[in-house]
Amino acid sequence: MLSKKIETALNDQIAKEAYASNYYLAMASWCEKSGLRGTASFMYEQSEEELEHMMKLLRYVNSTGGHGLVAEIPQPPNTFKSISHVIELALEHELAVTKSINKLVELCFNEKDYSSFNFLQWYVTEQHEEEHLFNSILDLIKITGTDGRGVYFIDNEIGKFREKEGAEKS
């Protein structure tokens, strides 16, 4: 059974995951319109993943005696400066989400809600992976640069990044 305090905090996180999904969708759309097909496909998948994060939380709240709420989502930016701008902003966003998850974990521990504490460990792992993913892309951008052919190469590589990450995990 969730306390009101934890239920509210989890619902706040649901709203944040929904915003992340829309934010990444806006990035994907901008990339697609800018001819960056690899990055567009990568960010579309990131956007879908964030929706899954939202759903997982919402259903957890409902299955634990609370009410998972659908929040109003603020308008994300729709234009970006470059491929590296998109990835830098995505990493910045992931770092903010990690902070928010860590606060939530701390709250659950302090409130002795060990069920929610345990449930949130999945998000702790996920945040570690996502930070690593965006950091790896930024490392690659630093090596190759983003002028002319560099953009073409990076865009192609980003398009393949998920396959590689999957292969490393299995």
Closest separation in Å from C-beta 112 to ligand FEO:
25
Name the DSSP class of 79: -
Question: Considering beta carbons, is residue 78 or 125 the nearer one to ligand FEO?
Answer: 125
**1 and 56 in contact (C-beta within 8 Å)?**
no
**50 and 73 in contact (C-beta within 8 Å)?**
no
Site string for ligand FEO, 91-120 (x = CB under 6 A): ---x--x-----------------------
Q: Is 19 in the site for ligand FEO (CB under 6 A)?
A: no
Q: How far apart are CA 103 and CA 143, in angstroms?
A: 34
**137 and 38 in contact (C-beta within 8 Å)?**
no
Q: How far apart are CA 42 and CA 119, in angstroms?
A: 27
Question: Considering beta carbons, is residue 57 or 151 the nearer one to ligand FEO?
Answer: 57
List the interface residues with ligand FEO, window 39-58 (CB under 6 A). 50, 53
**108 and 116 in contact (C-beta within 8 Å)?**
yes
In the list 17, 47, 80, 120, the residue contacting ligand FEO (rule: CB under 6 A) is: 17
User: Which residues make up the interface to ligand FEO (CB under 6 A)?
Assistant: 17, 20, 50, 53, 94, 97, 130
